[in-house]
Structure 1
Amino acid sequence: MRNHTELSEFILLGIPQTKGLETVLFVIFLFIYLCTLIGNLLILTAIISSSTLHTPMYFFLGLLSTFDIFFPSVTCPKMLSYLSGQSRVISYKGCAAQLFFYHLLGSTESCLYSVMSYDRFVAICHPLRYMLIMKPSVCVGLAIGTCLIGCIHATTLTSLTFRLSYCGSNEVNNFFCDIPAVLTLACSDTSLAQWMGLIDVNLVALVVWVSLFVFYTHIGIAILKIRSAEGRQKAFSTCSAHFAAVLCALGPVIIIYLQPTPNHLLDAVVQILNNLVSPMLNSLIYSLRNKEVKRSLKRVFHKIVPTVLQ
């Protein structure tokens, strides 16, 4: 990546129209961030420690929890730092790294939702062949594929954004470095980066939504054919939680990148929902309410508590 800029750093202006609320926001965001970390770490602990959860479904849930730990960690620590009174300055390389990892983890997680919907499709529509189709090598291959797509996506957008010349203002009107906010500071033509950002981001979202529609249409038909009311309820509960998590994750992205004109306050609020709230909700609505995860965590705590009390 070539650097044509005269700037060596950027200044993050933070969330618009929140001057004087820094302490309140710091407490709220710190609480959400800690809940996100603890919730997803508990899920990983439950999955790793219980052999009954070593299945394709929980393999992908473990990956989702891992991404939900790292994704908010790209932006939240710096935001908490300047909300507590520390410097709002971020280096040029730090800004590029923040943008890269934000899109890497975000797009990888989006693709993972498609993979998880495929996993549920196979489990519900082809239960007798489930373990044959979703064998370990296939699961690992799907996981690697999502990471490769995310890497290509993030590398393309970051390269196009930071090959531009930045020689004027260095104030980023956001709480982290994202493409729409950074491109407004460029001195050179941003049309290619803007169009590629629009096409690339929304292409990923479109592919995910189309795959969800296809798989869940088949899943819905299969659920209606289940004779047992308990079976229908269990299948519907799993799939509705998945769909809710996808809506929370991809809805904000579509709002930001399809806006005809930028709205800095709306962008910041939507990004907070995407960066902080969605990873926390995933741990609550996706896994911690799962009975098998709860049983696994209880077994872990029952082993830990006597050891600590000895």
Structure 2
Amino acid sequence: MVTLLAASLLGVSAPNAPGTRAASATAATCAGLTLDVHPGVNRAGSKPAPASEAAPDAPRGSFSVSLPPYPEATPLSPWAASPYPETLLSAYLQTAGAEYQSSDSVTIVSAWFRSHLPACGWHTNGYWNGNASVFTAGRTFVSNANPDLSVEMSYGHGASDGSYIGYGVEWIIYPPRPAASYLHGPFTQVRIARRRPRNILPNSSLVQRVVHTTVRDRTEIRRLVSAINSVGGYHTVPALCLGGGAARFGGPAWLAFIRPDSSAVHAYEIGPGACLGLAVNSRRWLIDTGVVWKQILRLTRP
């Protein structure tokens, strides 16, 4: 079972403003609410999403997130509305939700979370307003410990000047990287072929050409191998993204790592990011954050 507490802080506090609750953060209050995520979008609060929404190799297991509960709030069942104003476009998204009601106003509740969640190891990553449901405002918080983990805090006006509180946890969890995707040397050379676009005439369309480079410097080879072996993210279903493919980054690139006995390990990179990817030894796709791609561009620079 994996339980992620964004931070464990003792005695962190902020001065109380008139009409607001105390915002002290302790390990107990930061972990007072624990939610278990499931693959896909958890729409009902307790049931996993349909399997069609999740990647077939999405990790199944016990993944829990600890969050601070609002003081004296009571659980809502059924939910007042969806706690997800929007969801991430990833087949590896896992979610969990919870909803509460409080006698305090939206102003007081939202101010409490704005001060309390940062003290528990989260930072703000945007806010929203709307009128599509009872939740009319909210704020996105991202874990300081894991950029793939966020919680949507949604607020709405309840009866008698009270409020509704929605927690919408979104966590992208990738499967483990296959052992066969790691490079094992030594290698005497790396042969790289990279497709590079170029304009022949002004305002003309791009023409693709392939440039070939052979790297024999052992230090450069070790640096490239180390970069590839350090990639942690892996998925078989790339994210759905807009904005161009390999040509946008100056690729793709084909690589052959040659051993002293002339055997080779092949790799192929479309480009960096979760929308593209890197394949090694036919295992795809590793999620290169740009570390590998920058080295490929440097090694194949004219």
Q: TM-score range by the shorter chain?
A: under 0.3
Q: Name the TM-score, length of structure 1 as normaliser.
A: 0.21
Structure-2-length-normalised TM-score: 0.22
If each structure's helix is expressed as a fraction of its own residues, which one has the higher value? 1
Larger Rg: 2
